[in-house]
Structure formats: structure tokens, C-alpha cells
């Protein structure tokens, strides 16, 4: 399935290592449980490390290591389940996470803009024309009332030249 990184198709360099399975070379994603028990070895191994959170996981458990993590993967198990929007906002705004925040699961083109605003910069998006669709969907609305995790200023501020 195509991976869009900032809207462009990108090679997925990452491998998910199941709990208990051996580690392969290169960028590696693990579960939060594995990360919590093996973080010293993982972070010392010089490979980029990522964590796959489920919707029930608290992002704040990763807070002490976020500046050394390269990726957090969040899931949309159903396109109507919006918990990962909150997790992404927390990672970006509360904890200032600078690495990749990746969305996987059921994703509709019409939700891409919401994901971008919530702080996702990588989206696994199943569409034959993924780049073009992303380009259109991300530009359908040009103004935003509320601040979010992207750089767009709120209309509340723009109206008064405060953005």
C-alpha cells in the first residue's frame, strides 16, 4: 500500500518487529510493551526506532524518550474511529514530538486534511492515485477556525492580524 510522506509517495524503510521476534537491520517499529522493556538496547543500537501505539495506549508513557524516537505509528481501525486524532495532537502539541507520525488503517480521502491538521505527516493511503488525491483533498478547505497541530493560523487570530 502506498505510503505518503508529506503528500509524496515514499519508500517505506520501516519494519515492525513482533514482541519476542529477533530484530532485523534498519529502522524498526516495536510495540510500546517491547519498547518499555528494551528501550535501552533499542536506542543504543544506532538504528532509527519507532513505536506502534494502539488507540488505547497513552502517548505520555513515551514522553521521556520522544526526542530519541523517529516514528510513532497510530491506527484508524475504522474510518469512524477518531481516537488517533487526539493521540497525534497530544504527541505534536503536548509533547512536541518532531519525528514522523504515521497513520495506518481505514482512511478515506476526505479525512486526509483532518489528519494533516492533527499532526500526521505520513499516511498509508490505499488509492491508485494517492498523490493526486492527497493534493486535492488537502486543499479543499483553505481556512480554519481553530488552531491545531499544523502551522495554519486560526481565523480567530487572522481576523485581527495576530497570525
Residues that bind other proteins (CB under 8 A): 79-83, 85-87, 89, 93-94, 108, 110-111, 113-115, 117-118, 140-148, 154-160, 162
Q: Least Å distance between CB 26 and other proteins? A: 32
Cell 505510503 belongs to 3
CB closer to other proteins out of 14 and 85: 85
CB closer to other proteins out of 16 and 79: 79
CB closer to other proteins out of 50 and 59: 59
The set of cell numbers assigned to 99 is 519525528
30 CB-near residues (< 8 Å, 6+ apart): 16, 17, 19, 38, 42, 49, 50, 51, 52
CB of 113 closer than 8 Å to CB of 121: no
CA distances from 82 to 76, 87, 106 (A): 7, 9, 11
CB closer to other proteins out of 42 and 91: 91
**Rg of the chain over all Cα atoms, to the nearest angstrom:** 17
Q: Least Å distance between CB 117 and other proteins? A: 4
DSSP string, 123-163: EE---TTHHHHHHHHHHS----SS--SSSPPPHHHHTTT--
Q: Least Å distance between CB 105 and other proteins? A: 12
CB closer to other proteins out of 49 and 130: 130
Q: Least Å distance between CB 79 and other proteins? A: 6
Q: Least Å distance between CB 30 and other proteins? A: 23
Amino acid at each position: 500500500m502506498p505510503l505518503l510522506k508529506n503528500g509524496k509517495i515514499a519508500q517505506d524503510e520501516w519494519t515492525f518487529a513482533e514482541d519476542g521476534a529477533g530484530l532485523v537491520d534498519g529502522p524498526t517499529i516495536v510495540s510500546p510493551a517491547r519498547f518499555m522493556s528494551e528501550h535501552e538496547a533499542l536506542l543504543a543500537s544506532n538504528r532509527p526506532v519507532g513505536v506502534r501505539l494502539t488507540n488505547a495506549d497513552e502517548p505520555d508513557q513515551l514522553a521521556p524518550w520522544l526526542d530519541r524516537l523517529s516514528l510513532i505509528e497510530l491506527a484508524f481501525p475504522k474510518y469512524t474511529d477518531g481516537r488517533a486524532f487526539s493521540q497525534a495532537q497530544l504527541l505534536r502539541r503536548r509533547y512536541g514530538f518532531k519525528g514522523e507520525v504515521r497513520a495506518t488503517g481505514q482512511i478515506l480521502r476526505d479525512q486526509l486534511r483532518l489528519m494533516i491538521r492533527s499532526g500526521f505527516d505520513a499516511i498509508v493511503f490505499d488509492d491508485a492515485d494517492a498523490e493526486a488525491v492527497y493534493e486535492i483533498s488537502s486543499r479543499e478547505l483553505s481556512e480554519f477556525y481553530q488552531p491545531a497541530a499544523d502551522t495554519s493560523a486560526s481565523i480567530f487570530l487572522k481576523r485581527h492580524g495576530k497570525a
